[in-house]
Amino acid sequence: MKKVLITGGAGFIGSHVVRLFVEKYPEYHIYNLDALTYAGNLENLSDIENAPNYTFIKGDITEENFINELFSTHKFDSVIHLAAESHVDRSITDPLAFVKTNVIGTMILLNAFKTCWSDNFEDKLFYHISTDEVYGTLGETGLFTETTSYDPNSPYSASKASSDHFVRAYGETYGLPYVITNCSNNYGQNQFPEKLIPLFINNIINNKPLPVYGDGNYTRDWLYVKDHAIAIDLVFHKGKLGETYNIGGFNEWKNIDLVRLLCQQMDAKLNRVEGASEKLITYVKDRPGHDLRYAIDASKIKNELGWKPSVTFEEGLEKTIKWYLCNENWLHNVTSGAYKTYYQKQYN
């Protein structure tokens, strides 16, 4: 039985990847390693927690002895590495935490994987999940391709860029079999309400201000999280070793246009008069080093592996809103306690 270690599987994207692999591949055993930081939540996986091919392991990828022992006990054939500190705003207030988990944690996993297989890597894979933010910012035109130079601007993107470089370096130096994907902004169910879409859904529900940074004319390329999970499955099984694939939604939105669409859909779902939620839009101080525009050219994964997004943005957003409205308990649980302190500090 193939043993697949998924790190960060209790988080937003990780939980969708874990579920897809557990349900689709009963012949694999899926180990979900997660430290359960503020962003990790086992409620995300309650529907599959008793599956016979699934094991949850609570643990921190920065604890070297623990990780080495884990690999020597289980001898994982493959790793899908998603565990990370993932929020740009938090990286601005606490950059070192991002270096610890995203850089050192990745290094510790790479070393453990390398030692475990003593450089005999037949049929093994280290799959590193990364972000388009490593490429820095675009102007009004152009797209990130797999050969765009790295030019990260935030502590988050710098830490992810660094981890990508180490993965590639282990491939070149030690022959470690790897693949990397760099994906655009994800949205969908189970996303922690610190990121734009779930934060604003939660604020609209509670009639709280919608804090748009700067003039709102920043552009992101949005992808529905389940389509990202499908792409990860495809790259895991069919991606070429030593390659990078960009994953994106072919779906660029200026923040302010996205927020207006969200407000319209929320008004309809909450039976509020048209325009009620838009009144909550509040322009606030900009994020330092705010990247103007991200947009992915995903033609490599489309042409080579036959992947494309399965839902339009309007459909994906509607599914997402519906999920948050039907899961107010989930929202309530993650926004009590430490979340309140974070919110206060971030948005004064």
Which listed option, ligand TYD, ligand NAD, none, makes contact with residue 192 (CB within 5 to 8 Å by class)?
Answer: ligand NAD
Please tell me whether residue 293 binds ligand TYD under the rule CB under 6 A: no
# of chain residues touching ligand NAD (CB under 6 A) = 30
Q: Kindly list the catalytic residues.
A: 132-133, 156
Q: Does 148 bind ligand TYD (CB under 6 A)?
A: no
Applying CB under 6 A, does 10 fall inside the site for ligand NAD?
A: yes
Which range of residues in 57-65, 212-220, 237-245, 330-338 is near ligand TYD by CB under 6 A? 212-220
Residue 162, interface with ligand NAD (CB under 6 A)?
no
Distance CA 333, CA 9 (A): 19
Contact 290, 268 (CB under 8 A): no
Q: Residue 159's binding partner, choosing from ligand TYD, ligand NAD, none, with beta-carbon cut-off 5 to 8 A by kind?
A: none
Closer CB to ligand NAD, 154 or 185, in the complex:
185
Is position 192 an interface residue for ligand NAD (rule: CB under 6 A)? yes
Write out the two tokens for 291.
């990247």
Number of residues that bind ligand TYD (CB under 6 A): 12
Name which of 29 and 226 has its Cβ closer to ligand TYD: 226
- Residue 170: CB partners within 8 Å, gap ≥ 6? 110, 114, 126, 176, 178
Residue 7 backbone phi and psi in degrees, to 5: -95, 145
Choose the contact partner of 296 out of ligand NAD, ligand TYD, none; CB within 5 to 8 A by kind: none
Length of the chain: 348
Separation between Cα atoms, residue 71 and residue 163, nearest integer Å:
20
CB of 211 to ligand TYD, least distance (A): 5
Question: Which residues here bind ligand NAD, judged by CB under 6 A?
Answer: 7-8, 10-14, 34-37, 39-40, 60-62, 82-86, 101, 105, 129, 131, 160, 183, 185-186, 192
